[in-house]
Structure 1
Amino acid sequence: MNSKLKNSDTDFLFKAILSLENEEECYRFFEDLCTSPELKAMSQRLVVAKMLTEKKVYSEIVKETGASTATISRVKRALFDNDTYGYTLVLDKIAKEENK
């Protein structure tokens, strides 16, 4: 865990997110919390991570998502080169839920 991120404010944010019960509540909360470009950027990164785990190549990811190669590289590093495994954790949970 990144100790630079860990503080009571971030804990409070995560508790708020964990309190949400469905997509509608997420839309309502995140619309208030984030600007449209911020939310689109976060969504794009998650889609990029999914595509990288599906072994898609950069050119295909750029074409489908509009992400820059710098963004793709950053997501790839987070996905494969660090020990947080946040993307992997979420993508695995989504895949399990979809396979039910």
Structure 2
Amino acid sequence: MKRRSPHDESPDDAPLQALSEALAALSQAGEVRAFLEDLCTPAELEAMSDRWRVVPLLLKGVPYREIHDLTQVSVTTIGRVARTLERGAGGYAAAMQRQQSGTAAASH
């Protein structure tokens, strides 16, 4: 990971914006998966998948220790995801809402 100096208060977000737009341009889960597999290392994919796996359990109020027992995701990671759900940019919640509304629409 690149280190930012303390003077880098507002790094140029153009690369992150470009990546976000690339992901948004993909319309099928298979396309997104292929993109992620090309972009990320297996360890990065595992870390992101672990974080995503705990989101619905946290939203249901499942205790951290039980989430760990169910998923084998570390309690530290579970805590970080919980903090992000509370104080993050809202991405987890938006994705979960879209996923749930897509599931609901598909079942009708």
Query: What TM-score do you get using the length of structure 1 for normalisation?
Result: 0.86
2:42 corresponds to 1:36: yes
Partner-residue secondary structure (3-state), 1:56: coil
- Aligned-residue offset at 1:5: 6.6
- Does residue 58 of structure 1 match 2:54? no
Distance 1:7 1:93 in 2: 25
**Are 1:94 and 2:102 an aligned pair?**
no
Q: TM-score, normalised by structure 2?
A: 0.80
Within 1, Cα distance between the matches of 2:78 and 2:11?
22
Higher relative contact order (CA 8 A, sep 6+): 1
Q: C-alpha root-mean-square deviation of aligned residues, in Å?
A: 1.8
Aligned length in residues:
97
1:1-100 alignment runs, 5 A limit: 4=10, 7-80=13-86, 82=87, 84-100=89-105
* Percent of matched pairs sharing the same residue: 32
**1:99 is paired with a residue of what secondary structure?**
helix
Gaps of 5+ in 2: 1-8
Which segment is superposed worse, 3-12 or 84-93?
3-12
Misfit runs of 4+, over 3 Å = 3-6
Highest CA radius of gyration, 1 or 2? Answer: 2
Question: Which blocks of at least 5 consecutive residues in structure 1 are unaligned?
Answer: none
